[in-house]
């Protein structure tokens, strides 16, 4: 599933391509979107802004209409010049927004809906989001409070809970907890305020490091995400995907475990994250 940095970068790229441009044609295979387009056509509207909220991507059109998409595991947005050949099959197309200069195409996006702009703040999925780790005005105190509201939750599950903090996914989950030397299966209540604060600050640092201004990919991010700052692509992550390999700090074999309803993989160093 794309993480917060992916969605942030996708929104930024879409904004650069589409903001201020008039929609010349709108196409979708999703009935719930087609009905809105039939009643209040998108063609002729202006794309005012594209932004992210955690893992949600929001396209705001003139006329107070917002398109919300969530990528889940398989979705992606692409940008093309008019007439340029798509890199995915047309059968995978779910949404296409055409303008005179660029076309934005969403492939295999499983969650999409139009929301009246006035209802954004009351939307069930958006109003309950925790503080966005990529927001300019991150409310770290609120994030800390939300962690404390779930004292018995293992921290490995808490950092993935988008109602606590928004933006962390499976890769950053393991990387952040390793960087903070925290046992992923420790409960929230067993961690100090300093440890929880370190998790928030480290997650924000890692996410922000991967949305630098020079990173302008036109599709959902599939390149090299880094947390180690090392130049060699094979050394780019501390623990994620490295089960059985030596820890980069102490040479202990990296452990791996599936857990939770979705059987997500967690990677950690039993020595560096022993909870001492």
Mean pLDDT confidence for 251-276 = 87
Mean pLDDT confidence for 24-36 = 97
Task: Read off the pLDDT band of 180 (50, 70, 90).
Answer: very high
User: 127 with 121: CB under 8 angstroms?
Assistant: yes
* Backbone region of residue 147 per phi and psi (left: phi > 0; alpha: psi in -120 to 50; beta: other values): alpha
Neighbours of 105 (CB within 10 A): 23
In the prediction, which pLDDT does 259 show?
78
Express each pLDDT in 56-111 by its tens digit: 999 999 999 999 999 887 899 999 999 999 999 999 999 999 999 999 999 999 99
Mean pLDDT confidence for 240-253 = 94
In the prediction, which pLDDT does 260 show?
72
Can you give the residue ranges of every domain in the chain? 4-127, 140-268
Distance CA 219, CA 230 (A): 24
Beta pairing, strands 47-53 & 56-61:
antiparallel
Q: Which residues pair with 257 in a beta bridge?
A: 266
Q: Which residues pair with 266 in a beta bridge?
A: 257
Catalytic residue IDs: 2-3, 55, 264
CATH (one of 3.20.20.80, 3.40.50.850, 3.40.50.300, 3.20.190.10) for 4-127: 3.20.190.10
In the prediction, which pLDDT does 222 show?
47
In the prediction, which pLDDT does 194 show?
97
- Hey, what are 124's tokens? 């069930």
Beta pairing, strands 65-70 & 56-61:
antiparallel
Q: How far is CA 243 from CA 96, 180, 220, 266, 274, in A?
A: 40, 19, 26, 9, 17
Spell 154-185 as b/e; 16+ CB within 10 A means b. bbbbbbbebebbbbbbbbbbbbbbbbbbbbbb
- Hey, what are 264's tokens? 């997500």
Q: What is the dihedral of CA 209, 211, 217, 219, to 10 degrees?
A: 120
Chain mean pLDDT for the chain:
90
CATH (one of 1.10.8.420, 3.40.50.800, 1.10.8.50, 3.65.10.10) for 140-268: 1.10.8.50
Distance CA 193, CA 66 (A): 38
Q: pTM of the predicted model, to two decimals?
A: 0.86
Mean pLDDT confidence for 126-134 = 93
Express each pLDDT in 189-227 by its tens digit: 999 999 999 999 999 999 988 887 544 444 444 455 667
């Amino acid at each position: 599933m794309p993480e917060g940095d992916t969605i942030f970068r996708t929104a930024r790229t879409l904004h650069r391509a589409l903001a201020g441009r008039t929609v010349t044609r709108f196409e979708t295979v999703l009935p719930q979107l087609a009905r809105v387009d039939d009643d209040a056509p998108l063609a002729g509207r202006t794309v005012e802004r594209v932004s992210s909220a955690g893992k949600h991507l929001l396209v705001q059109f003139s006329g107070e209409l917002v398109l919300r998409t969530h990528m889940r595991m398989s979705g992606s947005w692409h940008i093309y010049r008019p007439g340029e050949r798509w890199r995915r099959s047309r059968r995978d197309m779910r949404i296409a927004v055409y303008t005179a200069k660029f076309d934005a195409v969403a492939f295999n996006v499983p969650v999409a809906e139009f929301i009246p702009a006035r209802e954004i703040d009351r939307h069930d999925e958006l109003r309950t989001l925790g503080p966005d780790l990529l927001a300019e005005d991150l409310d770290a105190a609120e994030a800390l409070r939300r962690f404390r509201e779930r004292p018995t939750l293992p921290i490995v599950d808490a950092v993935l809970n988008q109602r606590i903090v928004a933006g962390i996914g499976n890769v950053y989950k393991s990387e952040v907890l390793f960087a903070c030397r925290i046992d992923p299966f420790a409960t929230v209540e067993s961690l100090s305020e300093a440890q929880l604060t370190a998790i928030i600050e480290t997650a924000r640092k890692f996410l922000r490091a991967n949305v630098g201004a020079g990173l302008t990919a036109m599709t959902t991010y599939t390149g090299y995400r880094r947390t180690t700052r090392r130049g060699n692509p094979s050394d780019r992550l501390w623990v994620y995907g490295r089960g059985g390999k030596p820890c980069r700090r102490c040479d202990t074999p990296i452990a791996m475990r599936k857990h939770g309803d979705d059987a997500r993989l967690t990677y950690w160093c039993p020595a560096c994250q022993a909870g001492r």
